[in-house]
């Protein structure tokens, strides 16, 4: 390690703490409790700010500290929760009593702080975390596409289909029929958000091509940037998948809003600071009822960088306002914290082409954040089998087995590192179990466990999407497919209830156990390697949660849930 040049530009974000945190937590519990005076009495952004955000005086003190230490372009979010600023390594060292080091990480140049950021004692009760001090591990998408020759050990569960049911790719519109959402009205009363990065021009053009080909109405779209950081030049294929599957499953929405994160200096990808700013913008806008997140990091990194605490504060406000974040649980099984030499998750060892030599401790598990947040819906993945292409026939845990981890732009391997592709799921280390989860799963559950639900994510049964104007020749999968399926289906339910459902997980854990008519319980497969990981069982499990939903039956049941 060597010191980062003091003149190196850095874009940071200072996340502040809520006021009256205990009162806020009590309000969030009551908000989803039938019979409570606060039941579904959602707050406006102005009401939330008045009751729970930092005061203007607290914000002014932090702004003064940043400016006194040389930061420029200091901006304050509408809810007073996030301050963004531009500076350099010298400003960071002066303001936060830490130094930034330069080093190589997974074969790439990177920088990061060597000590935790500190602030003057007068600001300690206001400041929660400082983001943007590292670019070694940044949020990434949950998209599975690679050349078939990259697969080394396909998981045996893929063969467990009958002659009547098949593993086939699907059009994005198929999922509404498969998961029994097509009988419900389209979600034209509901605005949906997507957390993204990059220029959305091609993504929206591809969405328009998709809707034209699928004979769906053209989607009213918007792109809302938070104004901090540097625009990322090219959008990922990820957001073509997100948008087309959401629209295909929902049948159309009132508006689809993209919230692209900016990049930080010295990187062409979004950082923890800019992704959190995108989350916050979606919440302060308060236009999208449900927001898709197909991005994340391993939970340990999110905790250490402060991103976990900062994002949880945003997600709490979303719940208070009646918004729902749906988050992909990850594509590295139980090994999301294990990285290959080129920085890809799910690393388990190396291969000589004939066999795999495991390197890491396969019994050491980890989960993805923000999927592990108790204030979001964590969506895992299944392998879907259908009769034809539109009739549900069965699901198993999505686990495509082992494949080469580090690939070039054509999907060919660049080294011998091996990873698994499987649905994320397990137990959080840092997030306490919410009361509704403990009540359903037992008092031994003291930490947040995930996923909550799961939908199709397998490459072989994934979605054929439009990218760069052309229909892809092979399907795209991953939990980046599963979460948009849930978002599209749930948007139909929100439209049918005047956008009044809010975070549905408390209702899921109260009403789904034992009621298998409402969901497809997954009972086969696991999300680890060679017997490790979590195995699907009858009822909720850490591989697929409650499984996938039958949206029409859930829609009918909601009326009785709300009358309790």
- Helix 307-321 to helix 45-52 angle (10° resolution) is 120
Residue 181 located in a structural domain: yes
Is the pLDDT at 139 greater than 60? The verdict is yes
The pLDDT value given to residue 270: 79
pLDDT for 154 equals 64
The proportion of the chain whose per-residue pLDDT surpasses 70, expressed as a percent, equals 93
Segment 465-490 mean pLDDT: 96
Residues 437 and 554 in one domain: yes
Lowest-pLDDT range of 19-23, 211-215, 227-231, 532-536:
227-231
Looking at the fold, whether 91 and 196 belong to one and the same domain comes out as no
521 is in an annotated binding site: yes
Residue 180 Ramachandran class (φ > 0 left, ψ -120 to 50 alpha, else beta): left
Of 407, 401, 417, the closest CA to residue 351 belongs to 417
Q: Is 258 among the domain residues?
A: yes
Note whether residue 152 is domain-resident.
no
CATH number at residue 269: 3.40.50.200
| Catalytic-labelled residue, pool 236, 242, 431, 550 | 242
Least confident of 162-166, 289-293, 407-411, 529-533: 162-166
Same domain for 324 and 211 = yes
Of 131, 157, 190, the residue at which a domain comes to its end is 131
* pLDDT for res 263: 75
Average the pLDDT over 19-45 and give the result.
93
Out of 80, 108, 131, a domain closes at 131
Q: Which residue has the higher pLDDT, 323 or 106?
A: 323
Asked, for residue 69, whether it belongs to a domain, the answer is yes
Residue 242 sits in the same domain as residue 293: yes
Residue that finishes a domain, picked among 98, 131, 164: 131
pLDDT at 159: 43
156 occurs within a structural domain:
no
Looking at the fold, whether 119 and 190 belong to one and the same domain comes out as no
Among 190-194, 272-276, 440-444, which stretch is predicted with the lowest mean pLDDT? Answer: 272-276
Q: Is the pLDDT of residue 110 over 60?
A: yes
Tens of pLDDT along 270-329? 789 999 999 999 999 999 999 999 999 999 999 999 999 999 999 999 999 999 999 999
Question: From CA 481, how far away is CA 295, in angstroms rounded?
Answer: 12
Catalytic residue status for 238? yes
- Find out whether 519 and 548 touch, Cβ atoms under 8 Å: yes
Q: What is the pLDDT of residue 227?
A: 61
User: Do 460 and 557 reside in the same domain of the chain?
Assistant: yes
Q: How confident is the model at residue 157 (pLDDT cuts 50, 70, 90)?
A: very low
Residues 102, 111 contacting (CB under 8 angstroms): yes
426 is in an annotated binding site: no
DSSP symbols for 145-168: ---GGGEEE--GGGG---SSSB--
Q: Do 178 and 125 lie in a common domain?
A: no
How far, in Å, CA of 132 to CA of 269, rounded? 12
pLDDT at 158: 45
Helices (H) and strands (E) counted in the chain, each on its own, are 14, 29
Give 218 or 105, the one with higher predicted confidence. Answer: 218
User: Does residue 402 fall inside a structural domain?
Assistant: no
What mean pLDDT is predicted for residues 384-408? 92
**Above 60 in pLDDT, residue 367?**
yes
* Confidence (pLDDT) at 144: 59
- Catalytic residue chosen out of the listed positions 238, 285, 286, 494: 238
CA–centroid distance for 441 within its chain: 23
- Does 269 fall in a domain? yes
* Lowest-confidence region among 28-32, 61-65, 297-301, 425-429: 28-32
**Prediction pTM value:** 0.95
Residue 359 CA from chain centroid, whole number: 28
Q: Looking at residue 160, what is its pLDDT?
A: 44
pLDDT of residue 264: 66
3-state secondary structure at position 252: coil
Q: Which of 480, 483, 495, 502 is catalytic?
A: 480
Tell me whether residue 493 is exposed, middle or buried, using C-beta atoms within 10 angstroms of its C-beta: 0 to 12, 13 to 18, 19 or more.
buried
Pair 469, 378 in one domain: yes
For residue 410, what pLDDT is reported? Answer: 72
> Is 385 an active-site residue?
no
Look-up of token digits 């499984």: 547
In this structure, the answer to whether residues 116 and 182 fall within a common structural domain is no
Residue 165, domain member (yes or no):
no
Beta-carbon contacts of residue 447 (< 8 Å; ≥ 6 apart):
427, 428, 429, 431, 432, 433
Number of domains in the chain: 2
Residue range 518-533: average pLDDT? 96
Measured CA to CA, the distance from residue 376 to residue 187 in angstroms comes to 20
Q: What is the pLDDT of residue 5?
A: 92
539 has binding-site annotation = yes
State which residues form the domain around 304. 172-331+367-382+424-522+532-562
Q: Which two tokens stand for residue 44?
A: 């406006």
The answer to whether residue 437 scores a pLDDT higher than 70 is yes
Calculate helix-pair angle for 307-321, 272-285, nearest 10 degrees: 10
Residue 218 is given by DSSP the state P
- What's the mean pLDDT in 330-350? 93
Whether 351 has a pLDDT exceeding 70, the answer reads yes
Over the chain, what is the mean pLDDT? Answer: 92
**Same domain, yes or no: 202 and 70:** no
């Amino acid at each position: 390690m060597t010191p980062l040049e003091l003149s190196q530009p850095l874009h940071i974000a200072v996340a502040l703490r809520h006021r009256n945190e205990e009162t806020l937590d009590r309000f969030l519990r009551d908000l989803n409790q039938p019979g409570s005076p606060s039941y579904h009495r959602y707050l406006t952004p102005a009401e939330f700010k008045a009751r729970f955000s930092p005061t203007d005086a607290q914000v002014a003190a932090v702004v003064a500290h940043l400016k006194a230490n040389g930061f420029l372009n200091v901006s304050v979010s509408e809810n007073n929760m996030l301050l963004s600023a531009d500076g350099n390594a010298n400003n960071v060292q002066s303001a936060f009593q830490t130094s930034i080091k330069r080093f190589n990480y997974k074969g790439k140049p990177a920088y990061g702080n060597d000590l935790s950021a500190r602030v003057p004692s007068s600001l300690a009760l206001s400041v929660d975390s400082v983001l943007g001090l590292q670019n070694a591990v940044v949020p990434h998408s949950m998209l599975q596409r690679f050349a078939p020759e990259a697969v080394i050990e396909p998981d045996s569960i893929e063969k467990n289909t009958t002659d009547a049911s098949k593993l086939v790719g699907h059009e994005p519109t198929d999922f509404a029929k498969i998961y029994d959402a097509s009988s419900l009205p389209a979600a034209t009363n509901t605005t949906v958000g997507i957390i993204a990065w990059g220029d959305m021009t091609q993504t929206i053009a591809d969405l328009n091509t998709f809707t034209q080909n699928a004979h769906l109405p053209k989607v009213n779209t918007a792109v809302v940037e938070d104004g901090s950081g540097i625009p990322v030049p090219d959008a990922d294929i990820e957001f073509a998948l997100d948008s087309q599957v959401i629209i295909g499953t929902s049948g159309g929405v009132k508006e689809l809003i993209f919230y692209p994160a900016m990049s930080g200096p010295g990187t062409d990808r979004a950082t923890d600071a800019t992704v959190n700013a995108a989350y916050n913008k979606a919440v302060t806008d308060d236009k999208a009822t449900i927001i898709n997140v197909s991005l994340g990091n391993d939970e340990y990194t999110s905790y250490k960088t402060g991103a976990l605490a900062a994002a949880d504060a945003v997600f709490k406000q979303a719940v208070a306002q009646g918004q729902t974040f749906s988050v992909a649980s990850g594509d590295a099984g139980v090994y999301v914290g294990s990285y290959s030499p080129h920085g890809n998750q799910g690393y388990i060892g190396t291969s000589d082409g004939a066999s795999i030599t495991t390197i890491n401790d396969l019994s050491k598990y980890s989960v993805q954040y923000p999927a592990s947040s108790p204030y979001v819906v964590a969506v895992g993945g299944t392998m879907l089998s259908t009769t034809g292409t539109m009739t549900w026939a069965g699901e198993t845990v999505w686990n495509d087995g082992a494949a080469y981890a580090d690939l070039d732009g054509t999907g060919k391997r660049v080294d011998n590192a091996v990873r698994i592709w499987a649905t994320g799921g397990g137990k959080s280390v840092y997030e306490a179990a919410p009361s509704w989860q403990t009540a359903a799963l037992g008092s031994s559950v003291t930490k947040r466990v995930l996923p909550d639900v799961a939908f199709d994510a397998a490459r072989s049964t994934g979605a054929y999407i439009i990218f760069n104007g052309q229909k892809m020749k092979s399907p795209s999968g991953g939990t980046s497919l599963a979460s948009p399926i849930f978002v599209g289906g749930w948007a139909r339910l929100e439209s049918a209830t005047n956008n009044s459902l809010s975070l549905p997980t408390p209702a899921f854990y109260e009403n789904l156990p034992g009621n298998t008519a409402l969901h497809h319980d997954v009972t086969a497969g696991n999300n680890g390697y060679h017997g490790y990981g979590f195995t699907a069982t009858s009822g909720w499990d850490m591989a697929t949660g409650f499984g996938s939903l039958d949206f029409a039956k859930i829609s009918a049941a909601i009326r009785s849930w709300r009358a309790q």
